[in-house]
Amino acid sequence: MFKKSVEILDTTLRDGSQGANISFTLNDKIKIALMLDELGVDYIEGGWPGSNPKDEEFFKEIKKYSLSKAKIAAFGSTKRKDLSIYDDPSLNSIIKADVDVAVLFGKSWSLHVTDVLKVSKEENLDIVYDSIAYLKSHGLKVIFDAEHFYQGFKEDPDYALSVVKAAESAGADVITLADTNGGTPPFEIYEITKKVRETLHVKIGIHAHNDIGCAVANSLMAVKAGARHVQGTINGIGERTGNADLIQIIPTLILKMNLNVLNGYQSLKKLREVSRLVYEILGIPPNPYQPYVGDNAFAHKAGVHVDAVMKVPRAYEHIDPSLVGNDRKFVISELSGTANLVSYLQKLGIIVDKKDERLRKALNKIKELEAKGYSFDVGPASAILIALKELGYYENYINLEYWKVINENSGLSIGIVKVNSQLEVAEGVGPVNAIDKALRMALQRVFPEISNVKLIDYRVILPGEIKNTESVVRVTIEFTDGKINWRTEGVSKSVIEASVMALIDGLDYYLQLKKRLKVLDNIYSM
């Protein structure tokens, strides 16, 4: 038996770009479009050709590439009330964009018809009908987006239905119900979509926004009610609180609802990578809590939990993380036992027995430090360094003999370090930056690979009581070499000292890692 299919329209490049602080270059748009095609999406909404020149360029440029599956769609509004369809700039710019598919939005909430558009309800029906028929007569596939449909239906169901009926009779290929202000709860989405499903014969779509935190669920509820076309964006980027996140919707449609979506399991495996790439293009740090693909999506913290998940994964995980290109992660903390540490070490190619006495010693040290304000689920790399030392796998690459910071109101920040007998001085934009620079100057000659290491997060927290700035501070730093990320920490009464400790640990961890990987590579190549 064939499974039911649901088609996916990605509007990252159009509705997604409406989000605050979101801006794509033409190059970015091409990059994302090619990636979406590879992912297997059915439609890529590339932009609104009438609204800005960058979008028009995109439609020209993308023609130079041969896409394997995705159809490029151009967005636009129904015709203006005072113009004939033949003279309407929005409709004609869609035609000029020379695409196969048009996504046309029109009014379906009577309040918008009479108070915003300021035409009669009948006139709006004509506008919708004529605009669609015009595009159809030019051979385009037409997806009609009924703006504010759910709101409109709740206030004036007959009129809302008459709009989508007009769209159907004009030949629209898909009619998408849009929850434009994102305020409709999931049970209403289900009921209303179901009614439309019973009224129309054409394929129905859903376009959800996240204003009440339900965009993902609302998309699923619409599909449950019979929608077979879902619109959304990668990572849910979009205006206000964003659009429905396709990265979260797609796996549920495939894995939980058993529907035929994109290229099935093959597409799922790419989800995390696609999500990351869009974050990277936007310069936004990935959301570690993002369902399915986030760094913490399969992170286990409680000790008992960790033991159990290793024995019966499905007892604690709703899916196998590798299905969506993600990994199980164990968090090291005072709550957890040796199992977490063992699994971290395994990734470095170090196999240790859970009951190894050295491991227990390492864990005791970790617990002692946690009592002093460390929190190793926040900076696990610092905990692994302790374990490596206890296990005898640690090599001493960085010997920090002295450091000093001078900082004053002129803006001057000077960092002095003596590392491995070498004295260096550097000026920075702040004391931590100055020390970081001096450290790298001292280390890069011997360890040039350190130049790959970048800091991507820096946090300061007071883990304990504060007594007039005498409190202990915990600094956490996240590092990356472009491929993997790691977090370290330092605890001290001085924010500078804590920062220096976390910096040193971060560079040290990378050097230990590099050595381990070399060992691993040797083993693999034998």
Cα separation, 99 vs 76, in Å, equals 13
- φ/ψ of residue 460, rounded to 5: -125, 130
Q: How many binding residues for a copy of itself (CB under 8 A)?
A: 124
Least spacing, CB of residue 270 vs a copy of itself, in Å: 18
Give CA 518 to chain center in angstroms: 32
Reduced to 3 states, what is the DSSP secondary structure of residue 301?
Answer: coil
159 binds a copy of itself (CB under 8 A): no
Segment interacting with a copy of itself, rule: CB under 8 A, options 59-67, 121-129, 159-167, 180-188 = 180-188
Q: Distance between CA 503 and CA 497 in Å, rounded?
A: 10
Q: 431: which 2 tokens?
A: 């004391």
Nearer to a copy of itself, 95 or 461 (CB): 461
Within 92-121, which residues bind a copy of itself (CB under 8 A)? 109, 111-112, 115-116
d(CA 489, CA 155): 55
Locate 231 and state its tokens: 């619109």
Q: Pick from 331, 238, 248: which is nearest to 293 by CA?
A: 248
Q: What are φ and ψ of residue 115, in 5° steps? A: -100, -20
Measured CA angle at 504 (ends 503, 509), to 5 deg:
100
The three-class DSSP label of residue 519 is: helix
- For residue 18, count other CB atoms closer than 10 A to its CB: 16
Is the CB of 93 or the CB of 476 nearer to a copy of itself? 476
Per CB under 8 A, the segment of 81-89, 166-174, 244-252, 355-363 that binds a copy of itself is: 244-252
Strands 71-77, 299-300: pairing is unpaired
Q: Can you tell me the distance from the alpha carbon of 162 to that of 110, in angstroms, rounded to the nearest whole number?
A: 11
User: Among 44, 216, 234, 507, which residue interacts with a copy of itself (rule: CB under 8 A)?
Assistant: 216
Over its C-alpha atoms, the chain yields an Rg (Å, rounded) of 28
Exposed e or buried b for every residue in 411-450, given b needs 16+ CB within 10 A?
Answer: eebbbbbbbeeeebebebeebbbbbbbbbbbbbeeebeeb
Rounded to a whole number of angstroms, the minimum distance from the CB of residue 105 to a copy of itself is 12
Nearer to a copy of itself, 299 or 398 (CB): 299
Q: x/- site string to a copy of itself, residues 290 to 319, per CB under 8 A?
A: xxx-xxxxxxxxx-----x--xx-xxxxxx
Spatial distance between the Cα atoms of 10 and 16, rounded to a whole number of angstroms: 9
φ, ψ of residue 377 to 5 degrees: the values are -70, -20
Site membership for a copy of itself, residue 56 (CB under 8 A): no
- Collect all residues with Cβ–Cβ distance below 8 Å to 182 and sequence separation of at least 6: 208, 209, 210, 211, 212, 214, 215, 240, 241
Q: Which is nearer to a copy of itself, 221 or 268 (CB)?
A: 221
- Applying CB under 8 A, which of residues 457, 484, 517, 521 lies at the interface with a copy of itself? 457
Closest distance to a copy of itself from the beta carbon of 149 (Å): 14
Structure tokens at 473: 């501070």
Query: Taking the complex as a whole, how short is the minimal distance between the CB of residue 288 and a copy of itself, in angstroms?
Result: 7
By beta-carbon proximity to a copy of itself, the closer residue of 418 and 514 is 418
**Under rule CB under 8 A, residue 83 binds a copy of itself:** no
Nearest to 318, CA basis, from 377, 264, 252: 252
Contact status: 51 vs a copy of itself (CB under 8 A): yes
Contact between 469 and a copy of itself by CB under 8 A: the answer reads: yes
Of the pair 38, 317, the CB lying nearest a copy of itself is at 317
| Window 359-398: residues binding a copy of itself (CB under 8 A) | 375, 377-378
Beta carbon nearer to a copy of itself, 141 or 148: 148
Q: Are 477 and 502 in contact (CB under 8 A)?
A: yes
Contact 275, 32 (CB under 8 A): no
Tell which one of 193, 267, 382, 413 touches a copy of itself (CB under 8 A). Answer: 413
Among 83, 423, 466, 520, binds a copy of itself (CB under 8 A): 466
Contact flag: residue 29 with a copy of itself (CB under 8 A): no
235's torsion region: left (phi>0), alpha (psi -120 to 50) or beta? left
Query: Which letter, b or e, does each residue of 471-505 get, where b requires 16 or more Cβ atoms within 10 Å of its Cβ?
Result: ebbbbbbbbebeeebbbbbbbbeebbbbbbbbbbb
Q: Kindly state whether residue 497 participates in binding a copy of itself, applying the rule CB under 8 A.
A: yes
From the list 194, 197, 224, 361, which residue makes contact with a copy of itself (rule: CB under 8 A)?
224
CB nearer to a copy of itself: give 421 or 522.
Answer: 421
> Any contact of residue 334 with a copy of itself (CB under 8 A)?
yes
Sole window of 198-206, 238-246, 340-348, 517-525 interacting with a copy of itself (rule: CB under 8 A):
238-246
Nearer to a copy of itself, 267 or 499 (CB): 499
Stretch that binds a copy of itself, among 159-167, 168-176, 216-224, 265-273 (CB under 8 A): 216-224
Measured from the CB atom, is 263 or 433 closer to a copy of itself? 433
Query: Does residue number 483 form part of the binding site for a copy of itself (CB under 8 A)?
Result: no
CB 172 within 8 A of CB 202: yes
Compute the least distance from the CB of residue 212 to a copy of itself, in Å: 5
Q: Shortest Cβ distance from residue 255 to a copy of itself (Å)?
A: 9
Task: Compare residues 63 and 318 and give the one whose CB is closer to a copy of itself.
Answer: 318
Q: According to CB under 8 A, which residues from 426 to 455 bind a copy of itself? A: 428-433, 436, 454-455
Residue 340 interacting with a copy of itself (CB under 8 A): no
Q: Which is nearer to a copy of itself, 493 or 518 (CB)?
A: 493
Angle (CA) 205-206-208 rounded to 5° is 165
Which of 395, 457 has the CB closer to a copy of itself? 457
Per rule CB under 8 A, is residue 280 in the interface with a copy of itself?
no
Query: Angle of helix 26-39 relative to helix 53-62, nearest 10 degrees?
Result: 50
